[in-house]
Amino acid sequence: MCSALLGAALLLALYTLLYHALRRPAPPRARPSLRGRTAIVTGGSGGIGAATARELARRGARVVLAARSAARGEAAASRIRTETGNAEVRFMHLDLASLRSVRAFASAFLREEPHLHLLINNAGVSAGGQTEDGYGLTFQVNHLGHFLLTQLLLERLQRSAPSRVVIVASSAHCSGRLDPAALGRPVRGALQTFQAYCDSKLANVLHARELATRLQGTEVTCYAVHPGFVNTEIFRHAPLWLKPLLVPLAWLFFRDAAEGAETPLYCATQEGLERFSGRYFADCRPQEPWPRGRDDGLARALWEGSERLVGLGPRRPPAPAARGQ
Ligand SMILES: NC(=O)c1ccc[n+]([C@@H]2O[C@H](COP(=O)([O-])OP(=O)(O)OC[C@H]3O[C@@H](n4cnc5c(N)ncnc54)[C@H](OP(=O)(O)O)[C@@H]3O)[C@@H](O)[C@H]2O)c1
């Protein structure tokens, strides 16, 4: 009897410890109006992206949900319009696994939308396979597609400045390894899906770092974000044997999508963050990334390799232009 009680108490203590470690609530703060601001949220059809889009819309922003499934994208846009009363929420098709689709999205956006103040590079997968462009699926969706998208929209961000790019990375960058000579090649090995995910998240952290360096002197700033451990569909491609462990863990301890959206929203909207451009944030605070995430040589090599893989020549950030609103 005594040992059963002791066991139960220990379990409760462990649960409380883990719960608070993984679900640290965001500090309370002001939520300024975003009326007159335009935002793109990639992967805005579900998970953290939909929660981010909902809050941006609630604060009055014009929001473009950039997603690959028209059915899920239109449904999410309609839900957000109803829930927030903001009619300026629209779906536009974007499949980050196709560089052609990224270019088509960017052309349509530039044609149809005069402003861009917030680009939230949120969409992500953790899956095996290769894209039509011949690159690892996870690397292309999580990094390369977003890299091209950001480059194609940079001038519009610059014209709409002050503006921000938020790149949803992950603490999983700690296990990332990037070989500049083998960029984009599908990862091989026993834990290839996990490794490819970690590599892509390291690329996210380094992308923000190098982008900030290249944008110095402009009014466009950028941030990499770890949203916390969040109960979404990100693990839908996890191996079957892992799911019985992941599902209860996620249900008991992980944040919900709205909580997961807190740090991306903080980096997108909090005033006075400009001096932190290029930094990595978690729990609404700047944090030091793991050593590879601070490697400026690797960040430069990733940038140059990414330019080559998406077919862009070296380019300088656009010259400061007349400011939009
Ligand atoms: N959940 C976590 O614990 C966690 C932790 C750290 C970082 N993150 C990061 O947070 C971000 C959001 O993930 P989540 O947890 O919200 O996962 P999620 O629920 O699976 O949502 C991912 C979103 O990305 C979209 N997407 C997937 N492939 C795409 C493609 N080829 N083109 C365009 N959109 C695509 C999905 O669209 P469909 O609906 O069409 O599939 C979905 O809207 C990811 O970058 C992830 O790495 C998550």
| pTM of the predicted protein model | 0.90
- Please work out whether the CB of residue 96 comes within 6 Å of at least one atom of ligand 1: yes
- Specify whether the backbone of 85 is left (phi greater than 0), alpha (psi in -120 to 50) or beta: left
Predicted local distance difference test score (pLDDT) of residue 250? 82
Predicted local distance difference test score (pLDDT) of residue 324? 38
Predicted local distance difference test score (pLDDT) of residue 315? 57
pLDDT at 319 over 60: no
HSE (side-chain half, CA atoms, 13 Å) at 38: 18
Mutational pocket test of ligand 1: of 233, 252, 254, 283, the residue with most ligand atoms within 8 Å of the beta carbon: 233
Cα–Cα distances in Å, from 298 out to 97, 105, 196, 216? 24, 29, 17, 19
For 165-181, write each residue's pLDDT tens digit.
999 999 999 999 999 99
Ligand 1: centre distance to CA 108 (Å): 23
Tell me the β-bridge partners of 281. Answer: 225, 286
- Please work out whether the CB of residue 224 comes within 6 Å of at least one atom of ligand 1: no
Average pLDDT over residues 273-294: 97
pLDDT at 161 over 70: yes
Predicted local distance difference test score (pLDDT) of residue 50? 98
Annotated catalytic, 15?
Answer: no
For 248-280, write each residue's pLDDT tens digit.
888 888 899 999 999 999 999 999 999 999 999
Q: Which of 158, 123, 68, 139 is nearest to 234 (CA)?
A: 123
Average pLDDT over residues 20-47: 81
Q: Sheet holding 220-226: strands in order across?
A: 89-93, 62-67, 38-42, 118-121, 163-168, 220-226, 280-282, 285-287
Average pLDDT over residues 237-246: 80
Tell me the β-bridge partners of 285. Answer: 282
